[in-house]
């Protein structure tokens, strides 16, 4: 019996030694991949993982970076902040990662960034939309190590103001929004601010409260000012009702909206909606880059069609890999603090081109990227252009 | 657009929503006038009417005329049915029991609708459509004109019905003194059912007009609508037919102007403040009669 135990112990120890020795630390770059691949939001996490892995595998198949393969260390945080922090600690202490792609949900991502910032770990999230992921409002600090490839809500307001000025040649605009709804107020504030920059005069600023069905009084005020465009950054049910009533009280302006407009065609008539625009972050089969991505994704994952999250996962990997290349070019050693700093620096100054857009980052490490502009034509929501 | 034309436009907006409030307020007032019941299920009858329009037009694909008839007839039948099932057995009970039963019916209708139709809102098809009319610099929407005209015609017909016909005379008699009316050979049961049918048919018309202006039907849409119409009925003087009309239009116009000056968030607050003020200052409302205690 003793002999058997001794034999087993010897075997285990030998294996452990072989396991360590088998991997040369310099031959691979370890990147963590963190997100909820089980639980309620698993479909987001799985899509991000699939997208990121698709690109990393492609890079490895083409010989890796500088002859080194990228080794992905995957952990599931189940969408839970505590799990995310635990997984991140394990990745840093046990696996020795050099950078992290993750997490998927805003809450978990914010928790992770709290741990990653003090140790200077580069973090890029595909889908954390909360502003607090890259910027702590209380202490007024930007988390210089954290980046995201999805755009935050107010960015849509900015985009639509630029679109109105450049593409629609608008000189005057009106806004109607749900007061007390963070999403609507955020978009509206950003729109109004950008209008001032673009030389658009905001002639009417009308609010309504949650659950209102009657917008005719506010819309009559808007009609009286005869604006070129009306920005309605609300959710589709309200937007549909607003557009219908606006046409009744004589508003002829072009309507603009944010991604809350998706499916608006089910809530107002084709004639009333005709010619309205809204922005979104992803439209299937819209550009050549996306079509190519869809084909690659389908091949890798049993013919499945990628979602927005998969495309953003892919883009996060693209931005990170470009930054790793920059660090490798400086002949730094993966895992060291200098290497991480170089990766962060390279991401900050990135000009990577992903499937959804070309990327650069603003002072809060939020992406400056193209939005998808959707136009309503004959009752259909169709891709108009990238802007 | 000048300030004046904006004011005129806002006034028309107010008349449009006021028309719907007035039609519903009539139902409240008539039922209260005849059996002293605040029929809180009345708002939910509108919701049923809206769904009837949706089912006939969107599911069965029938023309708008059929949808309108379905809503009016359906609501009238539903009103009579509720009266027979829920209120007739309680006619001799204290009025509080009736009131609570009405609230129960209201919840019942809302939850049945939620069960059958789902909690989300359904988009109504276009019932009437036509070009907007321009009067000088004032823009009049086709739907607004139709709504106001239909409401006024309905009210005129109702007034003739109550004042000139035999059934109307019976309604007034039962409302005045149920016992005496019965002694004079008036069928009280028939008259009360008829009142419910007419009140609910008006709610059906209200449902159609409401759906034209706000093309979404949801299980809880009748709640706030019913409460506002109730305030309109109280403001006009509950039990009084012209009072309900005046009250409805007044509430609609008031709401429009409150929203127009940028206080839309306070819209409902203002409506209910009116209710409190009326009850404090003149509980009988604008057109209400002083009720003398019978000795």
Q: How confident is the model at residue A339 (pLDDT cuts 50, 70, 90)?
A: very high
Is residue B29 situated within a structural domain?
A: yes
Chain B: closest CA distance from residue A238 (Å): 10
What is the average pLDDT across A196-217?
A: 90
List the domain range (segments joined by +) for residue B33: 3-281
CATH 3.40.50.2300 fits A154-280+372-386, yes or no: yes
Q: For chain B, how many structural domains are there in total?
A: 1
Per the model's pLDDT, the better-predicted residue between A171 and B216 turns out to be A171
CATH number for the domain harbouring residue B40 = 1.10.3470
Is residue B90 situated within a structural domain?
A: yes
Confidence (pLDDT) at A10: 58
Is residue B289 situated within a structural domain?
A: no
Is residue B127 situated within a structural domain?
A: yes
Q: How confident is the model at residue B69 (pLDDT cuts 50, 70, 90)?
A: very high
Interface size between A and B, measured as CB pairs under 8 A: 89
Q: Are A198 and A162 spatial neighbours (Cβ–Cβ below 8 Å)?
A: yes
User: Which residues of chain A lie closer than 8 angstroms to B216, CB-CB?
Assistant: 213, 237, 240-241, 267
Q: Are A76 and A88 spatial neighbours (Cβ–Cβ below 8 Å)?
A: no
With CA atoms as reference, the chain A residue closest to B9 would be: A220
CB contact under 8 A, B141 and A217: no
Q: Are A105 and A48 spatial neighbours (Cβ–Cβ below 8 Å)?
A: no
CB contact under 8 A, A223 and B121: no
CB contact under 8 A, B141 and A237: no
pLDDT at A293 over 60: yes
ipTM for the assembly = 0.78
Is residue B286 situated within a structural domain?
A: no
- CB nearest B6 (choices: A179, A216, A221): A221
pLDDT at A330 over 60: yes
Contacts of B27 (CB under 8 A, 6+ apart): B39, B42, B45, B79, B199, B200, B202, B203, B229
* pTM, to two decimals: 0.77
Confidence (pLDDT) at A23: 44
| Rounded Cα–Cα distance for residues A77 and A75 (Å) | 6
Q: Are A175 and A161 spatial neighbours (Cβ–Cβ below 8 Å)?
A: no
Tens-digit pLDDT profile for residues A156-179: 999 999 999 999 999 999 999 998
User: Which residues of chain B lie closer than 8 angstroms to A223, CB-CB?
Assistant: 1, 9, 139
Confidence (pLDDT) at A42: 87
User: Which residues of chain B lie closer than 8 angstroms to A216, CB-CB?
Assistant: 13, 16-17, 213, 256
What is the average pLDDT across A330-345?
A: 91
Task: Name the CATH superfamily for A27-151+288-356.
Answer: Response regulator (3.40.50.2300)
Is residue B291 situated within a structural domain?
A: no
Classify residue B224 as exposed, middle or buried by CB count within 10 Å of its CB (0-12, 13-18, 19+): middle
Q: Which two tokens stand for residue B82?
A: 């509720």
**Ranges of CATH 3.40.50.2300 domains, chain A:** 27-151+288-356, 154-280+372-386
Is residue B166 situated within a structural domain?
A: yes
User: Which residues of chain A lie closer than 8 angstroms to B13, CB-CB?
Assistant: 216-217, 220, 249
């Amino acid at each position: 019996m003793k002999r058997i135990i001794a034999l087993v112990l010897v075997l285990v120890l030998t294996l452990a030694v072989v396991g360590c020795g088998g991997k040369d630390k310099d031959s691979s770059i370890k990147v963590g991949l963190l997100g909820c691949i089980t639980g309620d939001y698993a479909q987001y996490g799985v899509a991000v993982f699939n997208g990121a892995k698709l690109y990393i595998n492609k890079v490895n198949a083409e010989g890796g970076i500088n002859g080194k393969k990228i080794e992905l260390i995957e952990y599931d945080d189940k969408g839970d902040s505590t799990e995310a922090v635990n997984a991140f600690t394990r990745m840093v202490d046990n696996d020795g990662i050099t950078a992290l792609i993750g997490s998927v949900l805003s809450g978990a991502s914010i928790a992770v960034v709290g741990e990653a910032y003090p140790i200077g770990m580069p973090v890029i999230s595909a889908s954390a939309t909360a502003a607090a992921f890259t910027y702590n409002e209380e202490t007024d600090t930007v988390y210089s190590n954290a980046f995201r490839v999805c755009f935050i809500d107010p960015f849509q307001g900015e985009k639509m103001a630029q679109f109105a000025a450049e593409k629609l040649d608008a000189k005057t605009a009106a806004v109607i929004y749900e007061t007390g709804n963070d999403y609507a107020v955020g978009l509206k504030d950003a729109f109004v601010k950008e209008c001032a920059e673009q030389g658009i005069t905001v002639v009417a600023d009308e609010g309504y409260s949650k659950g209102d069905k009657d917008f005719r009084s506010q819309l009559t005020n808007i009609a009286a000012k005869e604006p070129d465009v009306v920005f309605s950054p609300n959710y589709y049910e309200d937007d549909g009702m607003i557009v219908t009533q606006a046409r009744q009280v004589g508003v002829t302006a072009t309507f603009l909206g944010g991604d809350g407009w998706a499916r608006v065609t089910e809530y107002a008539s084709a004639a009333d909606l005709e010619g309205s625009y809204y922005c979104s972050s992803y439209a299937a089969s819209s550009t050549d880059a996306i079509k190519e991505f869809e084909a690659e994704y389908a091949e890798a994952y049993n013919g499945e069609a990628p979602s927005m999250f998969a495309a953003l996962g892919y883009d996060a990997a693209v931005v990170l890999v470009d930054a790793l290349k920059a660090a490798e070019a400086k002949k730094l050693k993966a895992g060291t603090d200098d290497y991480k700093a170089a990766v962060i620096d390279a991401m900050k100054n990135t000009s990577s081109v992903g499937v959804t857009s070309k990327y650069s980052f603003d002072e809060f490490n939020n992406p400056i990227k193209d939005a998808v502009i959707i136009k309503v034509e004959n009752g259909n929501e169709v891709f108009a252009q990238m802007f | 657009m000048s300030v004046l034309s904006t004011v005129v436009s806002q006034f028309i907006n107010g008349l449009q929503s006021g028309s719907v409030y007035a039609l519903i307020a009539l139902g409240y007032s008539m039922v209260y006038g005849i059996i002293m019941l605040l029929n809180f299920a009345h708002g939910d009858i509108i919701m049923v009417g809206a769904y009837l329009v949706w089912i006939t037009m969107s599911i069965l694909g029938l023309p708008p005329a059929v949808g309108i008839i379905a809503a009016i007839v359906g609501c009238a039948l539903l009103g009579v049915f509720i009266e027979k099932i829920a209120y007739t057995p309680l006619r001799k009970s204290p009025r509080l029991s009736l009131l609570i039963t009405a609230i129960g019916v209201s919840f019942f209708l809302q939850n049945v609708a939620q069960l059958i139709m789902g909690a989300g809102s359904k988009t109504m098809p276009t019932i009437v459509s036509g070009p907007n009319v321009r009067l000088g610099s004032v823009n009049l929407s086709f739907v607004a004109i139709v709504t106001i005209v239909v409401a006024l015609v309905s009210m005129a017909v109702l007034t003739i019905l109550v004042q000139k016909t035999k059934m109307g005379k019976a309604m007034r008699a039962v409302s005045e003194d149920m016992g005496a009316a019965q002694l004079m050979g008036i069928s009280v049961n028939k008259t009360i059912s008829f009142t419910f049918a007419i009140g609910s048919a008006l709610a059906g018309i209200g449902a159609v007009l409401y759906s034209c202006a706000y093309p979404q039907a949801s299980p809880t849409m009748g709640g706030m609508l019913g409460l506002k119409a109730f305030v309109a009925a109280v403001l006009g003087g509950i039990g009084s037919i012209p009072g309900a009309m005046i009250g409805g239009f007044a509430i609609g116009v008031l709401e429009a102007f409150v929203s127009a000056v940028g206080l839309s968030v306070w819209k409902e607050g203002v409506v209910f403040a009116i209710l409190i003020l009326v009850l404090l200052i003149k509980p009988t409302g604008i057109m209400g009669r002083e009720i003398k205690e019978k000795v």
